[in-house]
Amino acid sequence: MNELWEALVGPDIVVDGTVLVKHSVLIRDGRIQGIVPIAQLPAEVSIRDLGPGILTAGLVDIHTHGAAGHGYNGAEIAQNRQALETMLSAGITTVLPTLATAPIDDMTRSLAALETLRNSAGLPRVPGAHLEGPYFSIAQRGAQDPNSLRDPVDGSIDRLLDQADIIRMISFAPELPGAVALTEKLVALGIVAAAGHSDGRESDLLACQNAGLSHVIHVFSGQSTTVRKGPWRHPGMLEATLASEGLTVEMIADGKHLPPALMKIAQRCLTGRLCIVSDSTPGAGLPDGSRYSMGAMDYVVEDGVGMTMDRSSFGGSTTLVTAMLPIAIETLGIGLAEAVAMVTSVPAAAARLQDVGRIAPGFHADFALFNSDLRLRSVALAGQWQDDLRPW
């Protein structure tokens, strides 16, 4: 062992469902080498004392449209950079920048702009984009632009998939014509197929799951529920999600989108497969009354959450996952380690990311350092600690 090895000591360390005390994380060349008791550290290793607190893997957000006035739909590289810088300053070290439904030409331009920043220094890791649309149900569109919704069979998917290398996930309604074929096409390309904004039934979700669909976006939001045909009850997308096996599922834990009872139902049904996403918008971090846009749609921040201008639907959240972590612990009554997994390892698994989201040997040395009250203190990317933090 030589001077290139560094041992992080001081805070409690959240590792795979448990919290370790009096342990150290060994890192070298931007990667984690191991977790060992402090008493067993070799004498020649370099020590970095982080002081007391809580050390987690860097946070992972697989569904975020932007923050601090900047979003990803605008196809503007400078805005993309500023949104991503905000994410990193909030302890989020891996991001799937998410595009809302928009005209296909606009979405392709947005993808090209994101590609230019994919491996930029000083920004979070960007394994790829998440396309939230345009293949959604009009009845469950929520705040998505109704004028840009499409069916998978109209040929437009091929134009989007011309940029498949920058796409990590596409969410769509499983009941639409061609949804099963779309699932198969995405899976063959290594793109995560996800269900969302759907007015379908249980059979629609199962058909796509059998074809390789593996994820469901924002549970309770944009999902059909049980319908009756005579005496018979037919589960909708919500009930199919809660009863599912093997699917990972998102929840927006901002304390606005879902009341505590619904958050608890999701957690009890989907423990170990439920991840927290921000669904944050350019409105994240802006005061009430601020306006922002995604694609052709305008929104306003009101009562600490995004709203459509007619106040008929939420327009994404204005909270980052960093601030959702303590909300989840308090609302769900769960332990620190389980909550941390919901913003690290579970979303990483949902997006099929191999070396982020855990403090484990071989993984990137990406960390979030919190005080005991879960206020973010610092963040590291590839073992390099950042100084520019924001109070999320």
Kindly write down the DSSP assignment for every residue of 37-59, as one continuous string. Answer: EGGG--TTSEEEE--SSEEEEPE
Q: Decide: 389 and 370 in contact? Cβ < 8 Å.
A: no
- The structural domains of the chain, with segments of one domain joined by +, span 6-56+361-386, 59-350
Say yes or no to pLDDT of 332 above 90.
Answer: yes
pLDDT (tens digit per residue) in 172-229 = 999 999 999 999 999 999 999 999 999 999 999 999 999 999 999 999 999 999 988 8
What digits encode the pLDDT tens for the residues 163-178?
Answer: 999 999 999 999 999 9
H/E stretch holding 20 reads strand 18-20
What's the pLDDT score for residue 390? 56
Say what the pLDDT of residue 51 is: 94
What is the pLDDT, as a whole number, of residue 388?
Answer: 59
Mean pLDDT is lowest, of 99-108, 109-118, 289-298, for: 289-298
Decide if pLDDT at 148 tops 70: yes
pLDDT value, residue 389: 60
pLDDT on residue 391: 54
Asked if residues 246 and 206 have their Cβ atoms less than 8 Å apart, the reply is no
Please state which architecture CATH assigns to domain 59-350: Alpha-Beta Barrel (3.20)
* DSSP one-letter code for 11: S
Higher pLDDT, 20 or 3: 20
Multiple choice CATH, 6-56+361-386, 3.60.15.10, 3.50.50.60, 3.30.300.90, 2.30.40.10: 2.30.40.10
* Res 4: pLDDT: 83
Reported as a single tens digit per residue, the pLDDT across 340-383 is 999 999 999 999 999 999 999 999 999 999 999 999 999 999 99
Q: According to the model, what pLDDT value does residue 58 have? A: 98
Mind listing the pLDDT tens digit for each residue in 237-258? 999 999 999 999 999 999 999 9
Under 8 Å between Cβ of 87 and 124:
yes
Q: What are phi and psi of 298, to 5 degrees?
A: -110, 150
Q: How far apart are CA 169 and CA 322, in angstroms?
A: 22
> What pLDDT was estimated at residue 44?
85
């960007």: which residue's tokens?
126
* pTM of this structure: 0.94
Between 316 and 296, name the one with better pLDDT: 316
Distance in angstroms between the alpha carbons of the first and the last residue of the chain: 38
- Provide, rounded to the nearest whole percent, the portion of the chain with pLDDT above 70: 98
What is the chain's mean pLDDT, rounded? 94
pLDDT digits (tens, 9 = 90+) for 37-55: 999 998 889 999 999 999 9
153: confidence class by pLDDT, cuts 50, 70, 90 = very high
The yes-or-no verdict on residue 392 having pLDDT over 60 is no
What is the predicted pLDDT for the residue at 386? 85
- At 95, which helix (H) or strand (E)? strand 92-100
Q: Measure the CA–CA gap between 392 and 379, rounded to whole angstroms.
A: 13
Position with higher pLDDT, 315 vs 252: 252
Counting residues of the chain whose pLDDT is more than 90, the rounded percentage is: 85
